[in-house]
Amino acid sequence: MFSLIITIISIALVAALAVASVYYGGAQFSQGTAKAQAATLVSQAQQIAGANTLYANDNGGTLATDVEADLVAGGYLSGVPAVNDKVRATGAQWTLSGRMVLLDLNDNATEVAAKVDEQAGFSGTRPADVSEAEAAAHQFGIIDDNGDLMFFYKG
């Protein structure tokens, strides 16, 4: 009987600790998610930029203009990197502009945008604080494109 009581108390304590960790650690879990999504954006953009460089090397210096038509169809990428729907704007796809890799972000992705800027080393506290001159000095980050957040990566 004693071991049964000890077992029940142990289970109750473990359950209480699990509930407390979810309740008190919730903010840390969401920050970790935003940081992981930011790192994923940077990694995917690096893949696209690398494929664009290979495409240019094989095509006399001419850069790709479309990720799917040029890079995927040409065998430089196995597929267009998928972006979480909570991060990218509805219907937005990776686009190329010269050596720049761009993606429109969802208006609700401000936490992810802030983590991207933090990883890039921007001094502004919000993506809207980033000037064009400051963006020009960084490899990647978030710019405010007339009220819309846009991720950029220079390949």
Q: For the residues 108-113, what does the mean pLDDT come to?
A: 85
Min mean pLDDT across 24-38, 68-82, 136-150 is at: 24-38
Q: What's 52's DSSP letter?
A: H
Q: Please classify residue 118 by burial: count the beta carbons closer than 10 Å to its beta carbon, then call 0-12 exposed, 13-18 middle and 19+ buried.
A: middle
Evaluate the CA torsion angle 37, 152, 115, 104 in order and state its sign: negative
pLDDT value, residue 26:
63
Q: What is the pLDDT of residues 38-96, one digit of tens each?
A: 999 999 999 999 999 999 999 998 999 999 999 999 999 999 999 888 888 888 999 99
pLDDT in tens, 113-140: 888 888 888 765 555 556 666 667 788 9
In this prediction, residue 73 carries a pLDDT of 93
Distances (CA, A) of 113 to 20, 52, 57, 93: 29, 24, 32, 17
Q: How far apart are CA 150 and CA 48, in angstroms?
A: 16
The reported pLDDT for the residue numbered 108 is 82
pTM of this structure: 0.76
